[in-house]
Structure 1
Amino acid sequence: MTESPTEHSADVIVVGAGPSGSTTAYYLAKAGLDVLLLEKTAFPREKVCGDGLTPRATKQLVAMGIDVSEEAGWLRNKGLRIIGGGVRLELDWPELASFPDYGLVRKRDDFDEQLAQQAVKAGARLYERCNVGAPVVDDRTGRITGVEAKLGEEKTPVTFRAPLVVAADGNSSRLSLGMGLHRREDRPMGVAVRTYFTSPRHEDDYLESWLELWDRRGPQDRLLPGYGWIFGMGDGTSNVGLGVLNTSASFKELDWREILKAWCASMPEDWGYTPENMTGPIRGAALPMAFNRQPHYTRGLLLVGDAGGLVNPFNGEGIAYAMESGQLAADVIVQAHARASHAQRELALQRYPKVLKDTYGGYYTLGRAFVKLIGNPKIMKLAADRGLTHPLLMKFTLKMLANLTDPTGGDAMDRIINGLSKVAPRS
């Protein structure tokens, strides 16, 4: 059967069906645009993630019409349990007008598939097993006009064409590199490693964050770099992982899988975080933070999610910002699409980087300062020892780290955080 050329052309191509790509495709399709969503693997597929979603991400799921009920397989959480400095503190998510007061947990393979299917329901055309290679660039203008890809198990060469392309292809973003957009070395980068264990703690209704990781196996306890997490999955397993920032002196030296094993070995035996209870391998992934690839729009290409370095430097959260940037990009594209001339369309598209900087720029600048501080283990230990004994300070810290404030009409904490974000440079 001969395919018509229109099957490989559209108003917009979105490369990558992770949270940022599927959200972008959903909002574009919902607005009536013809969208191709190209995913290199087939669903369900594995992704390295903590699987824990804050109220910020929950809000995005609700906005997309996803059923987030427990009956639909979602595990709800009330807040964050912080452990460090000999203190165990449970902080509920703040009560805000702008965000729900609960978070969610769900495995990424199933989570991403739900978002992709929601985009398809809205009208997006999903191609799985579609490995995108080089961008197709107009020699005269330097603009991207499509992508080269290999489709299916047969790896059939296909050229997809569209006047606009969205790079939602993750941290490595081959598409961005193909357009000459490289990572900024002056922006923080994190690494996360995680695995799953069969555990009686699988129904924990708090996300758990460990500010100190101790290796207690030797004659002397050793403080390990980074922070850890334990998220109950509600399915008989726990997601246990750790994150470390490149501001840590140990960033390149250590084997993080071994660090995770050492940390797990120090935990109470009845939690079940032992090698025989591990249900899968230890996997790792990079966390690109604080706009570490720019510009977010150039020559017909928009960057969303990890491709644009949208991970929150304060807490390593990526999904909420992936989805939010997808919605912001879609809004800009829809407005540009309705303009009559090329010059007017380009003017509308040039707004996208400014929208991102207005939304996150100041907050991410504060986050960059924060990661430099906690990269010093002495400062991190001091903060854990002193800060955790002050519940009011920790309530403020939770709002700051999770970026959960009401933009108008909030409490004094909200006004301080919002004020700091406004005055910080938006670079």
Structure 2
Amino acid sequence: MTTTPTRTEVLVVGAGPAGSAAAAWAARSGRDVVLADAAVFPRDKTCGDGLTPRAIAELIRLGLDDWLRAHTVNRGLRAHGFGQVLELPWPGGSLPDWGSAVARTELDDHLRTTALKSGAVGVEGAKAVDARVEGGRVRGVTFQRDGESFEIACERLIVADGVRSGLGKVLGRVWHKDTVYAVAGRCYVDSTQSDDPWISSHLELRGEEGEILSGYGWIFPLGGGQVNVGAGTLATTKRPAEVAIKPLMARYVEECRDGFGLQGEARLATSALLPMGGAVSGVAGPNWALIGDAAACVNPLNGEGIDYGLESGRFVVDLLDTDLSVTWPALLKEHYGEAFSIARRLAGVVTVPRVLPALGPAGMRSDWLMTLALRWMGNLVTDEDRDSAARVWRWAGRQSVRLEHRPPFT
């Protein structure tokens, strides 16, 4: 067994996609890096396991193209709802025109291994419980493992400990629940359609009494005879999600059993609460920053967070020599502020009763509208895109930010 480091230049807390990406990029830049996590890998994570083209682009940057293509590859989204089924290819453009899906047990373990191979030192089974702050800067983080406490001193700290972000709370992170959030669950089911080249989403998700819920269900083929099946609903403090997510998910599995070749019992059912759309404040200090789910970098319209985790892990490394209390919130607002603002505004509208039943059928009758919705809802618009759809999305985002009483990340 290796000795746990007592100090490092860059300490990354959390070895999910965001933390592992940050650790890999920091190590590749020549920095001394420690990557710590409360779990022992491989470990599970509540997630839909889907990898959109935006996530694929980041994984390719990390050199994982061949590894990804050895898994299932999908061409786009098959949307179901209101009597219609539409196959919507990934739009491509400046992003790859393909997606994938890899169980988080495997994905996160591989990303962590990639970071370690890049030069980071791994610490497992160590939960971050406190931070030593002197002169406004974090000088070290206290961990607990096997009933004992120890500290790792650091010059810079990257916090990637997930949606609850215990260390983020210690440092002053606040989640503003008046902004739309999600309650979601997933399970694994054997399927004869595990190699389907399309991920499927049911936009007409119904509750126990047949009412239309503000959310959607999904079936993501993983290959190897298995699919990820899940359901999620949107909520705000004004309109909370008054639904038990695991029973909803179980009912959804039964509804999809015949149409998707589902076989046997659902396994490993888990659920989670997701802050989204930058609905947190206190994301950075002079030498520390929150990234990925810890910074609520989750798309309010589809619950996707892997892509933003990977991106933010790469972005933060380029700013480590700056005053992160200034540069990091500014970068998050620049890259995600407008898109998150309009997305969470639209998601909030969907939580209003009768909106989805009124608009859903009209949208599903148009391939063009749904293709546009796929691109916008998936935030498959990059800074390089100059077409009319991208310009409209960015314009709407700018107008939305101007109307915010609390813009993303503030």
1:53–1:204 CA distance, 2 compared to 1 (3 A): same
Q: Which residue of 2 aligns with 1:168?
A: 160
Task: Classify the secondary structure of the residue corresponding to 1:160.
Answer: strand
Q: Distance in 2 between matches of 1:268 and 1:109?
A: 24
Corresponding residue for 1:145?
A: 139
Cα displacement string for residues 58-84 of structure 1 (whole angstroms, at most 9, x for unaligned residues): 000000111445663x21110011111
* Structure 2 Cα separation of the partners of residues 269 and 15 of structure 1: 43
SS for the counterpart of 1:382 is helix
Structure 1, unaligned stretches of length 5 or more?
Answer: 337-344
Counterparts of residues 385-424 of structure 1 (less than 5 Å) = 385-408=361-384, 410-424=386-400
- Aligned pairs (5 A) from 1:4-403: 7-69=5-67, 72=70, 74-96=71-93, 98-138=94-134, 141-151=135-145, 154-214=146-206, 221-247=210-236, 251-269=240-258, 271-273=260-262, 276-278=264-266, 280-333=267-320, 336=321, 345-346=322-323, 350-403=326-379
Deviations 1:306-360 (A, max 9, x none): 1111101121100000111111111111xx1xxxxxxxx43x6521110110111
Instruction: State the alpha-carbon separation in 2 of the partners of residues 421 and 169 from structure 1.
Output: 28
In structure 2, what is the Cα distance between the partners aligned to 1:71 and 1:26? Answer: 21
RMSD of the TM alignment (CA)? 2.2
8 Å contact from structure 1 (residues 36, 127) kept in 2: yes
TM-fit CA distance, 1:224: 4.3
Aligned length: 403
TM-score where L is the length of structure 2: 0.92
Q: 1:272 deviation in Å?
A: 4.5
Question: Is the contact made by 2:13 and 2:158 (CA closer than 8 Å) also made in structure 1?
Answer: yes
Percentage identity across aligned positions?
33
1:249 positional shift: 7.5
Question: Aligned AA for 2:115?
Answer: A
| CA–CA separation in structure 2 for the residues paired with 1:350 and 1:125 | 28
**Structure 1 residue 121, shift from structure 2 partner:** 1.3
Conserved? CA contact 1:214–1:266, under 8 Å = no
Deviation at 1:193, TM superposition (A): 0.4
How far apart are the structure 1 equivalents of 2:212 and 2:281? 36
> Partners in 2 of 1:131 and 1:247 — Cα distance?
30
- Segments of structure 2 that go 5 or more residues without pairing to the other structure are 402-406
Q: 1:17 to 1:421 in 2, by over 3 A?
A: same
